[in-house]
Structure 1
Amino acid sequence: MLQLNKINHITIICSDYQKSKTFSTTILGLTIIQEIYREERQSYKLDLALNGDYVIELFSFPNPPKRPSSPEAAGLRHLAFEVNDIQKTRDFLVNQSITAEAIRIDEFTQKSFFFIADPDNLPVEFYEK
């Protein structure tokens, strides 16, 4: 049987590198592991960590195609972060001028959650521990 240890990272291709870099570091609080500019591809690669663990690889490419529909296109639907205090998290994001959905309760787990959109309008979920 295949033995997986954990998810190593998730890759996101953004349309505005500086905007997405700022969102990831300033709003989400991810830390930069390394940033590389690949001249031959006109592309940045930004490795980001959460609590010291490598989690997101942010890429920029010239003129990437848009997501075909939102939010139910085939493929990765959203990125979710676990948080300790859902209301405090939502309040922080709203104070940063981020539009946040109302807090809802997961009907199966009874945990609180809500969504925002990243700079490319991709869904990002915050889910209470």
Structure 2
Amino acid sequence: MKSTIIRHHHTALICSDYTVSKKFYTEILGFTVLAEHYRAERLSYKLDLGIGQDYVLELFSFPNPPPRVSYPAEACGLRHIAFVVENPAAWREQLLQQNVVCEDLRVDEFTGKTFFFIRDPDDLPIEFYEV
């Protein structure tokens, strides 16, 4: 019998400023704090975030992490994270009202769905994609 992946569990992110990133993901994007731990031996926080009670993001802080490489050319590895929303235009407007810089709305040439990107406090691209 072949084993199969059941579903995505979570995505882990390392942030440069824990307080700023925690506020961004909880207060701006609306994620739920499921658990928060300080690991003194590593001088590191670990924050489990959910959409409701569904665990989706793990936010870490470490002393002096190197910056994310994105420009002038994208590096190998994680390109962006994406979340499904019912109305990308409404989400974009809501984020703009909270002073979040948003790219213009675009339409996926293959699916016809609307989407747009923002960047988190550490410049990680985040996509909001129409359901």
TM-score bin, normalised by smaller chain: over 0.9
Specify the alignment match of 1:99 in structure 2.
101
Given the alignment of the two structures, is residue 87 of structure 1 paired with residue 89 of structure 2, yes or no? Answer: yes
Measure the CA separation in 1 of the matches of 2:124 and 2:75.
11
In the TM superposition, residue 23 of structure 1 has moved relative to its aligned partner by 0.4
Aligned residues between the structures = 129
Measure the CA separation in 2 of the matches of 1:69 and 1:58.
20
Pairwise mapping of residues 1-129 of structure 1 onto structure 2 (< 5 A)? 1-70=2-71, 72-129=74-131
Amino acid at match of 1:41: R
* 3-state DSSP of counterpart to 1:58: strand
1:79-112 alpha-carbon deviations (Å, 9 max, x no partner): 1010001111000000000000000000000000
Measure the CA separation in 1 of the matches of 2:61 and 2:105.
31
- Root-mean-square deviation (CA, aligned residues, Å) is 1.0
Q: TM-score, normalised by structure 2?
A: 0.95
Measure the CA separation in 1 of the matches of 2:40 and 2:120.
26
8 A contact 2:68–2:123 mirrored in 1: no
1:45-65 alpha-carbon deviations (Å, 9 max, x no partner): 000011210000000000001
Q: Percent identity over the alignment?
A: 55
Measure the CA separation in 1 of the matches of 2:124 and 2:81.
9
Gaps of 5+ in 1: none
* 3-state DSSP of counterpart to 2:65: coil
* 3-state DSSP of counterpart to 1:115: strand
Measure the CA separation in 1 of the matches of 2:121 and 2:115.
20
